[in-house]
């Protein structure tokens, strides 16, 4: 590579600050010129108007979104292989080719990273240019004639391919990237049929990035995608380029682990097998895997994932594109907790015997015991608790069942003593995750988005990088991967802002689109009514909520939280558990079991043998999120469905089916027998939960609420997520997450 001059890194401001365009692909203007006339602009212009037919439009590559600006002066026309396309100003040649339906090979270019231009694989021929141009770094000019399929372009790519393969090890049979390698695909399509290199190939020492990313740096082609991802998206300056010429290496400069919550994404963006998944090493080939598109449940973001399985085993989890929620990244917890789905699983119904040991029984016996106890307790002594990973169907069944038994005590973990469940705008991210990119000031109240919702944090960081948005934070001291201003640790700072006495008020006053994000950890405070009232006062004072912008947000913690609040699981946990005689825990593993009375009968229904099984009298096994169809609502109110990827373990059943069977045995039969029946019932209670992949806006604002008489306490906010890698039953069962906790958390 010493013969190539490094192109100056060219960063288009349009690329960086561009918000996600609307999904509809605008119509483009195209026509075809005869091939013979393509070389002559005068002849092409003469022939084009005489063409009577307009050919059908070509599909952009990979569903590329393009939105033509309304001002015609902001659009321009270029010719790609003789086809005319209209693109916005600021587009590069590569983007124009994508809109025209031509796939340009590339290694270093990535649509969500800045432009490096150092792999030279995207060389195309431009008329009147003496040499091929790197299309990813060349802005498209009006009337430019681009040729992508000429002998010059092919020869250029073949030469680049030869240089790249010169020092590349011929170890495709043992590489984990086999079958999904960009280098393999492009050498097949653009490379030569034989090599001419007869000297010694170079070797590079492998780096240690931690327990998640495996490095074979000899395969590295120095495209710098991982360097740009780490510094731009993940926000850690861990990776860089060392040396020059033939001695170039990608590494961490000093011996250091990559400590980002998004470090696993470098596995996806690496075009060769230099960075692969360490837990997945040598486990499977991608053609052996069955991919199932489903939804992540390890946090409240609801990232779109694809679960790759082989038979009954989940082999890996990779991200799926969703522009509005997670773009094409997922957090490391989402990606690597899959081995928790195979360990500590409950597979048989169990009853605790008189000697205190669990005994496996049939479903009939287990349900009969539970129903018998239900008949002995009073209705108001029954309590149902839904866990962090519960889906809306099972929570609906639990609520209906407990209500039918005559009790109101149905609640969800993490929603606090008096959750603000009346108005949807009080517990959702009303700006939407994609809408955060339009904000210019962020006020984070009692929330640390880096560990609570890594994808929302990536979106905030993207906004800070693109528009220099200001971030202010009220809470305990913590790490951020962007510039922020730490205003204070407790609610007194918020009261000062509400009363206008804080210096930050001028920043909020001058902001065009301010955003306030309150953490769901505030739900657990006794003064949460007064606290949210103060936040609403701040929002009203600085015009955060108006018809065209709603910047008042709550960042939830768990996948089940939004749906639980929609359905109305709002009982007080302390009062409910203190007086209960029958406690039904549906995947609820973080309930304070010390407060459960000694004579209470505890039923645990879940998929993992986590904390709560040790107190249970009856254990009912259920399916994990990768084994069932379920409805989940994320923190912005978008409803999504999970799809089963692998069969259920042992004799476990879906959560709502267990409750349906139990209701029949207990004599309070629920009226639905199928998943569609449960969803019909949900449509009567919270109809937004059946509008899949949609967000329902909220028009009733907090102004209809009565004044709050409660006073704000002076207790400082506290950290909600102590260990990013261990937040629920699945991650606590994962050995990979245990390794991450051991090596990455200590600093």
Partner 1 sequence: MAWRANLSRGVKEIRFLFCQSSPASAPAREFVKKNYGDIKARNPSLPVLIRECSGVEPQLWARYGTRSFFFSSLLHGIRDPLSRFLNFLFLYLLRREMLG
DSSP 708: P
Asked if residue 706 binds partner 1 (CB under 8 A), the reply is yes
CB of 300 vs partner 1, minimal distance in Å: 19
Among positions 69, 353, 503, 687, the unique one binding partner 1 when judged by CB under 8 A: 687
The C-alpha atoms of residue 643 and residue 661 are separated, in whole angstroms, by 23
Convert residues 491-520 into a mask of x (bound to partner 1 by CB under 8 A) and - (unbound): ------------------------------
Which CB sits closer to partner 1, 50 or 704?
A: 704
Q: Report the phi/psi class of residue 222: left, alpha or beta, with left for phi > 0 and alpha for psi in -120 to 50.
A: left
Q: Is 547 in the site for partner 1 (CB under 8 A)?
A: no
| CB 340, min distance to partner 1, A | 34
The answer to whether the beta carbons of residues 393 and 681 sit under 8 Å apart is no
Residue 566 in contact with partner 1, rule: CB under 8 A: yes
CA 352 – CA 349 distance, rounded (Å)? 10
**Considering only 47-55, 421-429, 519-527, 731-739, which stretch makes contact with partner 1 by CB under 8 A?**
421-429
User: Which residues fall within 8 angstroms of residue 515, CB to CB, at 6 or more apart?
Assistant: 431, 436, 439, 441, 442, 443, 544, 551, 553
* Rounded CA separation 548/335 (Å): 36
The minimum distance between CB 636 and partner 1, in angstroms, equals 15
Q: Which span (206-214, 259-267, 590-598, 692-700) binds partner 1, by CB under 8 A?
A: 692-700
Q: Closer to partner 1 at the Cβ: 380 or 629?
A: 380
Name the one range near partner 1 by CB under 8 A: 57-65, 554-562, 700-708, 717-725. 700-708
Strand partners, 294: 305
260-288 residues labelled b (16+ CB within 10 A) or e (exposed): bbbbbbbbbbbbbbbbbbbbbeeebebee
Contact in structure between 550 and 425 (CB atoms under 8 Å):
yes
What DSSP character marks residue 259? -
Residues 570-589 that bind partner 1 (CB under 8 A): 570
- Biggest distance spanned by C-alpha atoms of the chain: 96
Least distance from partner 1 to the Cβ atom of residue 694, Å: 8
Q: According to CB under 8 A, which one of 86, 157, 214, 424 is a site residue for partner 1?
A: 424
Q: Where are the alpha helices (DSSP H) in 39-177?
A: 41-47, 93-99, 151-166
Which part of the chain contacts partner 1 (CB under 8 A), choosing from 184-192, 444-452, 485-493, 702-710? 702-710
CB 585 to partner 1: min, Å: 21
- In the stretch 259-298, what mask flags binding to partner 1 with x, by CB under 8 A? ----------------------------------------
DSSP-derived secondary structure for 175-201: -TTTTS-HHHHHHHHHS-SS----SPP
Judging by DSSP bridges, how do beta strands 485-488 and 470-474 pair with one another? parallel
Three-class SS of 573-607: HHHHHHCCCEEEEECCCCCCHHHCCCCCEEEEEEC
Q: Shortest approach of partner 1 to residue 576 CB, angstroms? A: 13
Q: How many residues bind partner 1 (CB under 8 A)?
A: 27
Site string for partner 1, 183-222 (x = CB under 8 A): ----------------------------------------
Q: Please choose, out of 120-128, 254-262, 427-435, 564-572, the segment that lies near partner 1 by the rule CB under 8 A.
A: 564-572
DSSP state of 322: B
According to the binding rule CB under 8 A, does residue 43 interact with partner 1? no
For 295, the 3-state DSSP assignment is strand
Within 13 Å and on the Cβ side, how many CA atoms surround 242? 13
**Residue 684 near partner 1 by CB under 8 A:** yes
Q: Does 556 bind partner 1 (CB under 8 A)?
A: no
CB count within 10 Å of CB 547 equals 6
Site string for partner 1, 66-85 (x = CB under 8 A): --------------------
Helix or strand run (H / E) with residue 103: none
Closer residue to partner 1, CB minimum distance, 555 or 686: 686
d(CA 29, CA 87) in angstroms, rounded, equals 10
Regarding 422 and contact with partner 1 (CB under 8 A), the answer is yes
Nearer to partner 1, 444 or 689 (CB): 689
Q: Select from 242, 512, 691, 715 the one that contacts partner 1 (CB under 8 A).
A: 691
Does position 699 interact with partner 1 (CB under 8 A)? The reply is yes
Confirm or reject binding of residue 704 to partner 1 (CB under 8 A): yes
Q: What's the rounded Cα separation, in Å, for the pair 85 and 327?
A: 26
For residue 705, state whether it binds partner 1 (rule: CB under 8 A): yes
Q: What is the footprint of partner 1 within residues 371-390 (CB under 8 A)?
A: 379
Residue 422 or 440: which CB sits closer to partner 1? 422
Of the candidates 403, 492, 507, 719, which one interacts with partner 1 according to CB under 8 A? 403
Say how far apart CA 618 and CA 625 lie, in whole Å: 22
- CA–CA distance, 741 with 724 (Å, rounded to integer): 8
Q: Taking contact as CB under 8 A, which single stretch among the options 319-327, 348-356, 609-617, 686-694 is the one that binds partner 1?
A: 686-694
Query: Is 548 one of the binding residues for partner 1 (CB under 8 A)?
Result: no
Contact pick of 423, 505, 643, 738 for partner 1 (by CB under 8 A)? 423
DSSP state, residue 311: T
When binding is defined by CB under 8 A, the residue of 213, 686, 733, 744 that contacts partner 1 is 686
Cα separation values, 22 from 13, 26, 324, 563, Å: 19, 9, 10, 27
Q: Which of 232, 365, 408, 590 binds partner 1 (CB under 8 A)?
A: 408
Using DSSP's 3-state secondary structure scheme, residue 721 falls into coil
Residue closer to partner 1 (CB basis): 491 or 568:
568
First to last CA, the chain: 38
Rounded least distance, CB 568 to partner 1, Å: 5
CB 655 within 8 Å of CB 704: no
**Contacts with partner 1, residue ranges (CB under 8 A):** 379, 403-404, 406, 408, 418, 421-424, 566, 568, 570, 684-688, 691, 696-700, 704-706
């Amino acid at each position: 590579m010493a013969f190539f001059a490094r192109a100056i890194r060219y960063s288009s401001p349009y690329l960086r600050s561009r918000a996600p365009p609307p999904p509809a692909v605008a119509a483009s203007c195209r026509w075809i010129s005869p091939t013979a006339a393509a070389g002559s602009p005068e002849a092409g212009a003469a022939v084009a108007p005489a063409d009577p037919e307009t050919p059908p439009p070509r599909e952009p590559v990979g569903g590329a979104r393009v939105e033509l600006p309304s001002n015609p002066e902001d659009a321009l026309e270029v010719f790609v292989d003789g086809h005319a396309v209209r693109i916005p100003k600021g587009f590069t040649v590569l983007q124009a080719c994508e809109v025209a339906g031509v796939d340009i090979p590339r290694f270093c270019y990535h649509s969500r990273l800045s432009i490096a231009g150092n792999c030279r694989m995207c060389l195309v021929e431009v008329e009147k240019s003496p040499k091929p141009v790197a299309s990813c770094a060349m802005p498209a000019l009006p009337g430019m004639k681009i040729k992508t399929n000429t002998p010059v372009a092919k020869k250029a790519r073949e030469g680049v391919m030869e240089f790249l393969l010169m020092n590349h090890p011929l170890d495709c049979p043992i590489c984990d990237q086999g079958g999904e390698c960009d280098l393999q695909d492009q050498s097949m399509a653009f490379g030569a049929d034989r090599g001419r290199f007869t000297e010694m190939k170079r070797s590079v020492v492998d780096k240690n990035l931690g327990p998640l990313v495996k490095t074979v740096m000899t395969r590295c082609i120095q495209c710098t995608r991982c360097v740009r991802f780490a510094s731009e998206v993940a926000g850690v300056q861990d990776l860089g380029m060392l040396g020059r010429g033939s001695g170039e290496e990608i590494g961490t400069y000093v011996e250091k682990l990559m400590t980002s919550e998004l470090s696993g994404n470098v596995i996806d963006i690496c075009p060769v097998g230099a960075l692969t998944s360490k837990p997945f090493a040598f486990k499977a080939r991608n053609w052996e895997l069955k991919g199932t598109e489903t939804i992540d449940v390890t946090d409240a973001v609801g990232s779109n994932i694809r679960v790759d399985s082989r038979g009954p085993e989940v082999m890996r989890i990779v991200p799926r594109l969703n522009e509005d929620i997670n773009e094409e990244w997922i957090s490391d917890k989402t990606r690597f907790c899959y081995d928790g789905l195979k360990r500590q699983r409950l597979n048989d119904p169990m009853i605790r015997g008189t000697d205190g040991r669990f005994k496996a029984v049939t479903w009939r016996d287990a349900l009969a015991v539970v129903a018998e106890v239900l008949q002995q307790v009073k209705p108001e002594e029954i309590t149902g608790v839904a866990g962090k990973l519960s889906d809306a169907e099972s929570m609906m069944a639990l609520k209906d069942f407990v209500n039918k038994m005559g009790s109101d005590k149905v609640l969800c973990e993490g929603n606090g003593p008096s959750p603000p469940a009346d108005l949807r705008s009080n517990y959702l991210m009303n700006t939407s995750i994609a809408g955060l990119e339009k904000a210019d000031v962020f006020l984070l109240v009692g929330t640390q988005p880096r560990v609570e919702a890594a994808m929302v944090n990536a979106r905030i960081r993207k906004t800070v990088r693109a528009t220099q948005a200001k971030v202010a934070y009220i809470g305990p001291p913590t790490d951020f991967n962007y510039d922020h201003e730490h205003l204070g640790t407790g609610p007194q700072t918020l009261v000062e802002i509400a009363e206008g006495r804080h210096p930050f008020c001028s920043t909020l006053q001058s902001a065009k689109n301010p955003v306030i994000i309150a953490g769901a950890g505030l739900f657990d405070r006794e003064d949460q009514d007064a606290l949210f009232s103060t936040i609403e006062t701040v929002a009203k004072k600085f015009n955060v909520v108006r018809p065209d912008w709603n910047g008042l947000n709550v960042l939830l913690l768990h996948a089940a939280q939004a749906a639980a609040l929609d359905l109305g699981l709002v009982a007080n946990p302390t009062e409910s558990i203190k007086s209960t005689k029958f406690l039904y825990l549906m995947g609820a593993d973080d309930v304070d079991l010390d407060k459960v009375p000694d004579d209470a009968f505890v039923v645990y229904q879940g998929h993992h043998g986590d904390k709560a099984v040790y107190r249970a009298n009856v254990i009912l096994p259920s399916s994990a999120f990768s084994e069932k169809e379920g409805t989940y609502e994320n923190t912005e109110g978008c409803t999504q469905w999970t799809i089963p990827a692998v069969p259920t373990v042992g004799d476990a059943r879906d959560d709502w089916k267990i409750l349906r069977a139990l209701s029949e045995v207990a004599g309070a039969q629920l009226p639905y027998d199928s998943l569609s029946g449960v969803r019909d019932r949900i449509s009567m209670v919270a109809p937004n939960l059946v509008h899949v992949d949609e967000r329902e806006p909220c028009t009733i604002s907090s102004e209809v609420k009565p004044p709050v008489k409660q006073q704000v306490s002076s207790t400082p906010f506290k950290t909600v997520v102590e260990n990013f890698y261990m937040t629920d039953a699945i991650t606590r069962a994962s050995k990979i997450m245990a390794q991450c906790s051991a090596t990455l958390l200590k600093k």
